[in-house]
């Protein structure tokens, strides 16, 4: 029975994941900027109705915001904060720890690894 040998992902796979992360962070930044702009420039609905009835011009006309879109962005944000952020941190910390151990054993102290095997009788 042959056992499969685990390999590290290729540079191109790592680069693709890095691009996806960068794209996600860019999208998140765009969402944040858009919401901040709408939040800071929003005229409350009652004020907009009053101004409209009184014939008062708006510096910037009120923007209709789809409640379903707001709800979806809230769910998206909550999922990041509740689940994805913790998972991402835990997995990245584990990956980093294992990679540092591999680097130490195979690059910094390769003879120490051989010595340990020799002592164990392998």
- Tens digit of each residue's pLDDT (9 = 90 or more) over 15-29: 999 999 999 999 999
Is residue 96 predicted with pLDDT exceeding 90?
Answer: yes
Instruction: Give the mean pLDDT of 5-17.
Output: 93
pTM of the model: 0.66
Is residue 44 predicted with pLDDT exceeding 60?
Answer: yes
pLDDT class of 48 with cuts at 50, 70, 90: confident
Cα(98)–Cα(46) distance, rounded to whole angstroms?
A: 57
Backbone CA torsion sign across 51, 55, 57, 61: positive
Is residue 99 predicted with pLDDT exceeding 60?
Answer: yes
Q: What's the pLDDT at 78?
A: 93
Q: Residue 84, Cβ neighbours under 10 Å: how many? A: 13
- Tokens encoding 114: 């051989």
- Residue pair 42/59 in contact (Cβ under 8 Å)? The answer is no
Cα(71)–Cα(78) distance, rounded to whole angstroms?
A: 10
Instruction: Give the mean pLDDT of 28-38.
Output: 91
- Considering only CA atoms, give the Rg of the chain: 27
């Amino acid at each position: 029975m042959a056992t499969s040998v685990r390999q590290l992902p290729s540079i191109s796979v790592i680069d693709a994941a890095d691009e996806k992360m960068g794209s996600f962070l860019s999208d998140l930044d765009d969402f944040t900027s858009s919401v901040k702009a709408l939040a800071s420039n929003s005229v409350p609905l009652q004020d907009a109705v009053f101004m409209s009835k009184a014939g008062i011009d708006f510096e910037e006309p009120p923007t209709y915001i789809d409640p379903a879109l707001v709800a979806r962005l809230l769910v998206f944000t909550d999922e990041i904060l509740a689940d994805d952020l913790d998972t991402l941190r835990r997995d990245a910390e584990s990956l980093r720890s294992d990679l540092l151990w591999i680097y130490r054993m195979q690059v910094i102290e390769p003879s120490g690894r051989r010595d340990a095997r020799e002592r164990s009788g392998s």
